[in-house]
Chain A
Amino acid sequence: MKKLTTLPLFIRCAAIVIIAGITFAVLAVANT
Chain B
Amino acid sequence: MKLQQLYTYIQRSTALHYIVIILLTLLYVAPYFSMEFGTDIVSGWDGAAHLAMMENYAHSTGLFSWIPQWSAGMIWPLGYPPLMSVVFKFLFAIFPMLQSIDIFRVIFFLCTLSIPLIAYWIVRRLEYSKSVAFLSGVFALFFLVTSKSGAGVLGISMAATFGNGTYSQLFAAIPLFLWIGVLLGKRFRPVHAGVLLGIVLVSNIHMAQTACIILAVYSSIQAYQEKSSQPILKALIQGCIALGLSAFWWAPLFESRNYFLTQAMPPVDPFVALSVLLAPLSFSALGVWHQYSLGKKEGVLLWLSGFVIACVSVLPLHEWLPFLPLQPFRLLPVSLFLCMILAPSGIMRVVQFLQFPKKMQVIACIVLVLPFAYWHRPITDAVGGQYALTDAEWQMVSDVQKLSDSRSLIEYTYDDTTRSGKLDRQPTQFILSALIGGAEHETISSNFRESSLSTIFTQPLRNSFSEIHETFGVYCWLCHDEILDRDYRSHEFYSQPLAQHLKRSRFFGVKYLIIRSDKIASQLRALPALSNEKDYADWSLFSDEKAAPMIEELTSSPLLVFTDLKSTRRPADGPDAYDWLRINEEWFFHAQFDQIFTLAPSSHLDSSYLPTELEQFSHTLLVDYSARDVEEAYVQFEQYARHHRLYLLSDSSDLYQRLALLENSPKHNIYSITRTGDVRADMKTVLDQLRNEPIEKGAWFLLRQSYFPWWKEIDGGSVYMASPTFTAVHTAGAFPELQLVRPQSARVGMIISTLVLLSLLGFSIRYRIQSV
**Chain A positions near chain B (C-beta within 8 angstroms):** 1, 4-5, 9, 12-13, 15-17, 19-21, 23-24, 26-31
A1-B353, A24-B370 known; 11 other A-B pairs, CB under 8 Å?
Answer: A1-B355, A4-B354, A9-B356, A9-B360, A16-B364, A19-B350, A23-B371, A23-B372, A27-B374, A31-B147, A31-B148
B residues 337-382 with Cβ under 8 Å of A? 350-351, 353-357, 360, 364, 367-368, 370-372, 374-375
B370 touches A20 (CB 8 A): yes
A24-B374 CB under 8 A given contacts A12-B354, A29-B275: yes
7 contacts between A and B (CB under 8 A): A4-B353, A16-B367, A20-B367, A23-B371, A30-B276, A30-B279, A31-B147
- The residue among B147, B355, B356, B372 with the most chain A CB atoms within 10 A of its own CB is B355
B275 touches A26 (CB 8 A): yes
B residues 364-419 with Cβ under 8 Å of A? 364, 367-368, 370-372, 374-375
B367 touches A17 (CB 8 A): yes
Q: Which residues of B are found within 8 Å of A5, using beta-carbon distances?
A: 355
Complex: chain B residue closest to A6, CB-CB: B355
User: Closest CB of chain B to A12's CB: distance in Å?
Assistant: 5
A27 touches B375 (CB 8 A): yes
Instruction: Tell me if B35 counts as interface (CB < 8 A to partner A).
Output: no
B147 touches A15 (CB 8 A): no
A20 touches B368 (CB 8 A): yes
Contact partner, A15, options B146, B354, B360, Cβ 8 Å? B354
Q: Which residues of A are found within 8 Å of B279, using beta-carbon distances?
A: 23, 26-27, 30
Main secondary structure of the interface of B (DSSP, over half): helix
Q: What's the Cα separation between A19 and B333 when bound, in Å?
A: 25
Q: What's the Cα separation between A9 and B355 when bound, in Å?
A: 9
Q: Which residues of A are found within 8 Å of B372, using beta-carbon distances?
A: 23, 27
Q: Which residues of B are found within 8 Å of A29, using beta-carbon distances?
A: 275
A16 touches B147 (CB 8 A): no
Q: What's the Cα separation between A31 and B356 when bound, in Å?
A: 31
A16-B375 CB under 8 A given contacts A5-B355, A23-B279, A30-B275: no
Instruction: Tell me if B278 counts as interface (CB < 8 A to partner A).
Output: yes
Complex: chain B residue closest to A2, CB-CB: B355
Q: What's the Cα separation between A5 and B357 when bound, in Å?
A: 9
Q: What's the Cα separation between A12 and B361 when bound, in Å?
A: 11
Complex: chain A residue closest to B351, CB-CB: A16
A-B contact count (CB 8 A): 57
Q: Which residues of A are found within 8 Å of B354, using beta-carbon distances?
A: 4, 12, 15-16
Contact partner, B371, options A4, A9, A27, Cβ 8 Å? A27
Contact partner, A26, options B278, B350, B364, B367, Cβ 8 Å? B278
- The residue among A1, A20, A29 with the most chain B CB atoms within 10 A of its own CB is A20
A16 touches B355 (CB 8 A): no
A16 touches B368 (CB 8 A): yes
Q: Which residues of A are found within 8 Å of B367, using beta-carbon distances?
A: 16-17, 20
A30 touches B355 (CB 8 A): no
Please list the 4 inter-chain residue pairs (A to B) with the smallest Cβ-Cβ separation, ordered nearest first: A24-B371, A30-B275, A23-B371, A30-B276
Q: What's the Cα separation between A26 and B371 when bound, in Å?
A: 9
Complex: chain B residue closest to A17, CB-CB: B367
Complex: chain B residue closest to A11, CB-CB: B354
Q: What's the Cα separation between A29 and B359 when bound, in Å?
A: 33
Complex: chain A residue closest to B146, CB-CB: A31
Q: Which residues of B are found within 8 Å of A28, using beta-carbon distances?
A: 374
Q: Which residues of A are found within 8 Å of B371, using beta-carbon distances?
A: 20-21, 23-24, 27
- The residue among B146, B275, B356, B371 with the most chain A CB atoms within 10 A of its own CB is B371
User: Closest CB of chain B to A8's CB: distance in Å?
Assistant: 12
Complex: chain A residue closest to B369, CB-CB: A20
Q: What's the Cα separation between A5 and B358 when bound, in Å?
A: 12
Contact partner, A19, options B148, B278, B355, B368, Cβ 8 Å? B368
Q: Which residues of A are found within 8 Å of B353, using beta-carbon distances?
A: 1, 4
Complex: chain B residue closest to A27, CB-CB: B375
Q: Which residues of B are found within 8 Å of A27, using beta-carbon distances?
A: 279, 371-372, 374-375
B374 touches A12 (CB 8 A): no
Q: What's the Cα separation between A17 and B283 when bound, in Å?
A: 15
User: Closest CB of chain B to A16's CB: distance in Å?
Assistant: 5
B368 touches A23 (CB 8 A): yes
B374 touches A16 (CB 8 A): no
Q: What's the Cα separation between A4 and B279 when bound, in Å?
A: 24
Complex: chain B residue closest to A25, CB-CB: B371
Q: Which residues of A are found within 8 Å of B375, using beta-carbon distances?
A: 27, 30-31
User: Closest CB of chain A to B270's CB: distance in Å?
Assistant: 13
Q: Which residues of A are found within 8 Å of B147, using beta-carbon distances?
A: 31
User: Closest CB of chain A to B383's CB: distance in Å?
Assistant: 15
Q: Which residues of B are found within 8 Å of A30, using beta-carbon distances?
A: 148, 272, 275-276, 278-279, 375
Q: Which residues of B are found within 8 Å of A19, using beta-carbon distances?
A: 350, 368
Contact partner, B350, options A1, A9, A16, Cβ 8 Å? A16
User: Closest CB of chain A to B135's CB: distance in Å?
Assistant: 15
Q: Which residues of A are found within 8 Å of B148, using beta-carbon distances?
A: 30-31
Q: What's the Cα separation between A2 and B351 when bound, in Å?
A: 14
User: Closest CB of chain B to A9's CB: distance in Å?
Assistant: 8
Q: What's the Cα separation between A19 and B356 when bound, in Å?
A: 15
Complex: chain A residue closest to B376, CB-CB: A31
Q: What's the Cα separation between A1 and B360 when bound, in Å?
A: 18
User: Closest CB of chain B to A5's CB: distance in Å?
Assistant: 5
Q: What's the Cα separation between A1 and B351 when bound, in Å?
A: 13
- The residue among B146, B275, B357 with the most chain A CB atoms within 10 A of its own CB is B275
User: Closest CB of chain A to B310's CB: distance in Å?
Assistant: 13
User: Closest CB of chain B to A19's CB: distance in Å?
Assistant: 6
Q: What's the Cα separation between A20 and B364 when bound, in Å?
A: 10
Q: What's the Cα separation between A26 and B350 when bound, in Å?
A: 18
User: Closest CB of chain A to B339's CB: distance in Å?
Assistant: 12
B residues 90-127 with Cβ under 8 Å of A? none
Complex: chain A residue closest to B271, CB-CB: A29
User: Closest CB of chain B to A26's CB: distance in Å?
Assistant: 5
Q: What's the Cα separation between A29 and B375 when bound, in Å?
A: 10
Q: What's the Cα separation between A9 and B356 when bound, in Å?
A: 8
Q: What's the Cα separation between A6 and B354 when bound, in Å?
A: 10
User: Closest CB of chain A to B104's CB: distance in Å?
Assistant: 30
